[in-house]
């Protein structure tokens, strides 16, 4: 057990699965207590039980980040259980491979609603308690699609571009009150969002082969590799870092 987040209270959205679950596990190993928030209640329970079977270090809560009442209840739950929120990780998100020629307003509302409105609501409701405490760290899980055009991501890309701009906006606005706001931008990571582990070349679709060839490191990432970057930005080791976008992409955006 490490101490990089000793006694910190962290809320992680989308923590039932993938990057969020790996982050919740790593945070707990580094001494944090974690609210495992996800709209998948059973998945959130499973993550929390795996981390802390007795519930001392992790609790699960069903939260749809699109719904303001759910988000309010999430912040309230952390305050009621542990008295404060030191860290918010806006990780909940959905993919979308819709080409603009198939654009539907419903898909736009679904993806922007979860990937951008969701983090905005979470920040809105986490900030008052962080401001009262005089400190806080927010980490947003953006994407290589925040800064790179990728065919087929006409809706997902703007949702993640908006999240990166929200990161910079809040970082500047709240820096003098000791709230740090940063982003990580993963390349392709083997989670259920992309169809699970795909390193088995038998299972690689043409799209996956195309994408893998664009990662100079020659492979996709693993959830824990993104979790390690989130941990760094959330910890006091990053005390002079705010408004940053940390690429965790095997070199994708270095090209």
Ligand X SMILES: NC(=O)c1ccc[n+]([C@@H]2O[C@H](COP(=O)([O-])OP(=O)(O)OC[C@H]3O[C@@H](n4cnc5c(N)ncnc54)[C@H](O)[C@@H]3O)[C@@H](O)[C@H]2O)c1
Binding residues for ligand X, rule: CB under 6 A, are 13-14, 16-20, 38-40, 43, 63-66, 91-94, 114, 118, 141, 143, 186, 188-189, 191-194
Is the Cβ of residue 15 or residue 127 nearer to ligand X in the bound state? 15
Is the Cβ of residue 9 or residue 71 nearer to ligand X in the bound state? 71
Is the Cβ of residue 86 or residue 249 nearer to ligand X in the bound state? 249
Alpha-carbon dihedral 218, 224, 227, 228, rounded to 10 degrees: -80
> What do you get for the CA distance between the two ends of the chain, in Å?
37
Helices 18-29 & 223-234 angle (0-180, nearest 10): 50
The answer to whether residues 11 and 35 touch, using CB atoms and an 8 Å cutoff, is yes
Buried b or exposed e, range 202-237, using 16+ CB within 10 angstroms:
eeeeeebeebbebbeeeebbbbebbbebbbbbbbee
Closest distance between ligand X and the C-beta of residue 49, in Å? Answer: 15
Is the Cβ of residue 57 or residue 147 nearer to ligand X in the bound state? 147
| Catalytic residue of the set 27, 66, 156, 220 | 156
Closest distance between ligand X and the C-beta of residue 85, in Å? Answer: 17
Closest distance between ligand X and the C-beta of residue 143, in Å? Answer: 4
Told to judge if 66 belongs to the known catalytic residues of this protein, a careful annotator would answer no
User: Interior CA angle at 121 toward 116 and 125, to 5°?
Assistant: 150
Closest distance between ligand X and the C-beta of residue 68, in Å? Answer: 12
Looking at the chain, list the stretches that DSSP marks H as alpha helix, in order from N- to C-terminal side. 18-29, 41-51, 68-82, 105-112, 118-133, 156-174, 206-213, 223-234
**Residues noted as catalytic:** 156
């Amino acid at each position: 057990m490490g101490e990089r987040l000793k006694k910190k209270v962290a809320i992680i959205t989308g923590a039932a699965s993938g990057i969020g679950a790996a982050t919740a596990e790593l945070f707990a190993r580094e001494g944090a207590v974690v609210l495992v928030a996800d709209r998948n209640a059973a998945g959130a329970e499973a993550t929390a039980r795996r981390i802390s079977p007795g519930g001392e270090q992790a609790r699960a809560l069903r939260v749809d980040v699109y719904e303001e009442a759910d988000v309010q209840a999430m912040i309230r739950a952390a305050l009621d259980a542990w008295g404060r929120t030191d860290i918010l990780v806006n990780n909940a998100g959905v993919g979308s491979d819709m080409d603009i020629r198939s654009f539907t307003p419903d898909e736009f509302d679904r993806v922007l609603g979860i990937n951008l409105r969701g983090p905005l609501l979470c920040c809105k409701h986490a900030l008052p308690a962080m401001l009262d405490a005089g400190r806080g760290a927010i980490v947003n899980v953006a994407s290589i699609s925040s800064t790179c055009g990728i065919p087929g991501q006409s809706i997902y890309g703007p949702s993640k571009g908006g999240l990166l701009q929200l990161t910079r906006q809040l970082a500047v606005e709240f820096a003098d009150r000791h709230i740090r706001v940063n982003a990580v931008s993963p390349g392709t990571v083997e989670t259920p969002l992309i169809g699970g582990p795909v390193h088995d070349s038998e299972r690689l679709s043409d799209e996956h082969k195309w994408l893998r060839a664009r990662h100079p490191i020659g492979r996709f990432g693993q959830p824990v590799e993104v979790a390690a970057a989130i941990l760094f930005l959330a910890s006091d080791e990053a005390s002079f870092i705010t408004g940053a976008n940390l690429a965790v992409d095997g070199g994708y955006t270095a090209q």
